[in-house]
């Protein structure tokens, strides 16, 4: 297995991009990553996308996007594992480069979610849960995470205020990220009095519906050195699955797929949670960020709420989480999120994050999760 580096990143402003089609958004973003890397060709490409079929009536997007990027006949592969599709695209590209099958690979993610109405978006997102046993009975994603939140509050004494602190922190970070969909701060009071979606979760506990893409160019470290680029290595990769329905899990508050994917990634990189300087994790809802911190071993079980409340996960804290603003403030075009997390970690390790820079960050981790946690992809990055 060869050492793999990220040598180019691309991400454009996220939001409701009604004046751009799926292919426009993609090409713009992918070209940014290619420009940033300085390569003159790609050997292969991966596109993470959850549901272009339902959102824009278009499958076969791996070929469509290779065509519009002017890269056909290169092999182009779409991967899907709900909201972790972007992380999975990164993992497969990593495998292809590490194995020696290809040298220069474009890894990317995209979702165009706002061309449909709210009901249809809710339906599309529900296809990440168990359609026959969960959605059929009427539950939606805010409902699923609300059940997890209630269980976490009951088991560990996590408070409503602690959930809100996650949103306040992530919006504070996102206010320093010009590419974020909602780059503004919110107060504790704003969150606690925002409209209720699924008790105990309120609208400011939920990540938004977003159009956007993100892209990166990866290659063997030896080629990266020749290109004279700042090198960020991918040193760990993990991917795991869990029961699709939360009712089938032993403990609703425990994200087993995140634990397993983290374990694989830590083992490959030879690192432990305490070695990581900066985390980008899957805060699709505020409660998700708390459960993820526990499953990744960043804090002990049941201690995540307290850690956030004490400011440990803030930019200035000892375990900074989601300096980009997270899904909450940056937006959550589901298939793109996993790659956008990698884009932020690469910026942090290159020290290009401006006001939200974590000083001296050398090792970063991304955790990208599908549905209510039936899939997780984790990567570890190190400054070269």
- Give the sheet arrangement for strand 44-48, strand by strand: 44-48, 105-112, 211-220, 4-11, 232-241, 375-383, 363-370, 278-280
**Dist CA 3 CA 30 (whole Å):** 23
Closer CB to a second copy, residue 141 or residue 381?
A: 141
Least separation in angstroms between residue 194's CB and a second copy is 28
Nearest residue (CB) to a second copy, 99 versus 272: 99
Cα(187)–Cα(165) distance, rounded to whole angstroms?
9
Q: Count how many residues are written for the chain.
A: 384
Q: Are 68 and 27 in contact (CB under 8 A)?
A: yes
> What is the C-alpha to C-alpha distance for residues 185 and 93, in angstroms, rounded to an integer?
36
What are the tokens at 235? 């040193």
Known catalytic residue: 83?
Answer: yes
Smallest Cα–Cα separation from 100: which of 44, 36, 41, 31? 44
Choose between 353 and 372: whose C-beta lies nearer to a second copy. 372
| CA angle, 259 then 283 then 369, to 5° | 45
Residue in the block written with tokens 């059940």: 147
By beta-carbon proximity to a second copy, the closer residue of 141 and 182 is 141
| DSSP structure string for 2-38 | --EEEEEEEE---B--TTS-HHHHHHHHHHHHHHHHT
Lookup: tokens for 101 = 């099958």
From the candidates 83, 135, 219, 291, which is the catalytic residue? Answer: 83
Which entry of 152, 171, 239, 332 is annotated as an active-site residue? 332
Residue 291 is a catalytic residue: no
- C-alpha separations of 252 from 131, 153, 255 in Å: 18, 12, 8
Report the nearest approach of a second copy to the CB of residue 1 (Å): 7
- CB-wise, 22 or 361, nearer to a second copy? 22
Nearest-approach distance from CB 42 to a second copy, in angstroms: 12
The nearest distance, CB 249 to a second copy, in angstroms, is 10
Contact 240, 373 (CB under 8 A): no
Minimum Å gap between C-beta 369 and a second copy is 11
Q: Cβ atoms within 10 A of the Cβ of 279, count?
A: 24
CA distance 181 to 153: 30
Cα–Cα distance measured from residue 2 to residue 48, given in angstroms and rounded to the nearest whole number = 23
Q: How far is the CB of 192 from a second copy (least distance, A)?
A: 32
Distance, in Å, from the CA atom of 96 to the CA atom of 112, rounded to the nearest integer, reads: 27
Chain residues that interact with a second copy, rule: CB under 8 A: 1, 21, 23, 50-51, 53-54, 56-60, 62-64, 66-67, 71-82, 88, 92, 95-96, 98-101, 123-124, 126-132, 135, 239-244, 248, 256-257, 260, 370-371, 374-375
> 20 vs 350, which CB is nearer to a second copy?
20
Nearer residue to a second copy within complex by CB, 51 or 170: 51
Minimum distance of a second copy from residue 99's CB (angstroms): 3
The two three-digit tokens of residue 43, written as one number: 């050997």
Task: Give the residue numbers annotated as catalytic, written as ranges.
Answer: 83, 332
């Amino acid at each position: 297995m060869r050492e793999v580096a990220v040598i180019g990143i691309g991400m454009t402003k996220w939001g409701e991009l009604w004046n751009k089609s799926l292919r426009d958004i993609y090409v713009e973003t992918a070209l940014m990553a290619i420009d940033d890397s300085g390569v003159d060709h790609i050997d292969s490409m991966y596109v993470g996308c959850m549901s272009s079929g339902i959102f824009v009536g278009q499958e076969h997007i791996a070929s469509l996007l290779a065509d519009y990027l002017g890269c056909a006949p290169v092999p182009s592969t779409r991967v899907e594992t709900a909201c972790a599709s972007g992380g999975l695209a990164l993992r497969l590209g990593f495998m292809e480069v590490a194995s020696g099958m290809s040298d220069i690979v474009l890894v990317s993610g995209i979702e165009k979610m706002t061309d449909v109405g709210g009901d249809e978006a809710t339906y599309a997102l529900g296809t990440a849960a168990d359609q026959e046993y969960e959605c059929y009975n009427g539950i939606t994603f805010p409902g699923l995470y609300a059940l997890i939140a209630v269980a976490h509050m009951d088991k560990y004494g996590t408070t409503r205020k602690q959930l809100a602190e996650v949103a306040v922190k992530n919006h504070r970070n996102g206010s320093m990220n010009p590419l974020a969909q909602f780059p503004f701060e919110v107060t504790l009071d704003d969150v606690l009095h925002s409209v209720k979606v699924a008790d105990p979760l309120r609208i400011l506990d939920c990540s938004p519906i977003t159009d956007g893409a993100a892209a990166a160019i990866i290659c063997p470290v030896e080629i990266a050195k020749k290109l004279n680029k700042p090198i960020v290595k991918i040193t760990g990769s993990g991917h795991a699955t869990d029961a699709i329905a939360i009712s089938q899990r032993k403990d609703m508050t425990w994200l087993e797929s995140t634990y397993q994917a983290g374990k694989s990634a830590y083992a490959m990189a030879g690192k432990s949670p305490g070695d990581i300087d900066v985390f980008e994790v899957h805060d699709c809802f505020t409660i998700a960020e708390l459960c993820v911190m526990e499953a990744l071993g960043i804090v002990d079980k049941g201690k995540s709420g307290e850690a956030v409340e004490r400011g440990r996960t803030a930019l200035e804290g000892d375990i900074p989480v989601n300096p980009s603003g997270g899904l909450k403030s940056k937006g959550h075009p589901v298939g793109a999120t996993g790659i956008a997390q990698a884009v932020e970690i690469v910026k942090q390790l290159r020290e290009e994050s401006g006001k939200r820079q974590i000083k001296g960050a050398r090792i970063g981790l991304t955790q990208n999760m599908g549905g209510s946690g039936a899939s997780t992809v984790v990567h570890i990055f190190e400054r070269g």
